[in-house]
Amino acid sequence: MKVIDFLQVRYFKKKMLLLVIVLGMMTVLVQCASVSQRWPENERRTEDRMFLLQQEIGKGLGSGELTLDASQEFVVKLDNLRRDYTVLRERKTTQEEWAPLLTKLEDMEKEVKVVLAYPSRIDETKLEDRMIVLQRRLDDGMLIGRLRRVQGRDFQLRLDDIRREFLQRIKDRPLTTEEKGETSSRLDLLESDVNNAL
């Protein structure tokens, strides 16, 4: 009987000791997460992600998938993230203080991927720029009298027709290669006629 009681007490003591050890370890782990300290894993991972994001922006700009304005906007956002990162890196922080930065970085990565997933509209912008320049030349030519009114009106109607068709095509989707070529050749012909008239 004494042996059984002794074994039960010993078993109970082992359970209590195990419970105390588990609770102690849990306390240490909770304190590690909530106490300010350095987080080298977060630092490395964040640095790597920002570097890759900068490379994606550069590749997108180089390949024409990003416009200059869009890439500059992303670079400004990335610089703001770098500032926040530097502040966190230079002091001891809690894990929770890293969460907003990591969330912003993840959101920006998604935003860049979405923009890069869409076909480039740079060619469309170039076509629009050509139309604007041609419109200015027509206006200037009619204003200073180098183009006759009838001739200027004819050129204006042709340009309006090209512009209307172009805007109708890009309303819901990017231009196809054939449509870009057709619009570009129509603009070339109109530019040539305007140059000859001026």
Average pLDDT per run of 10 along the chain, which is 198 residues long?
A: 66 80 77 58 82 87 76 90 87 80 89 73 68 86 83 88 86 76 86 83
Contact 77, 56 (CB under 8 A): no
Number of H helices, E strands in the chain: 7, 0
**Tens of pLDDT, residues 19-43:** 888 887 887 766 655 555 565 676 7
Which amino acid makes up residue 94? Answer: T
Upper half-sphere CA count for residue 22 (Cβ side, 13 Å): 6
Total-model pTM: 0.45
> CB atoms < 10 A from the CB of 156, how many?
16
User: What are the domain boundaries of the chain?
Assistant: 1-35, 40-117, 122-197
Give the HSE-up count for residue 157: Cα atoms under 13 Å, Cβ half-sphere.
6
* pLDDT at res. 122: 46
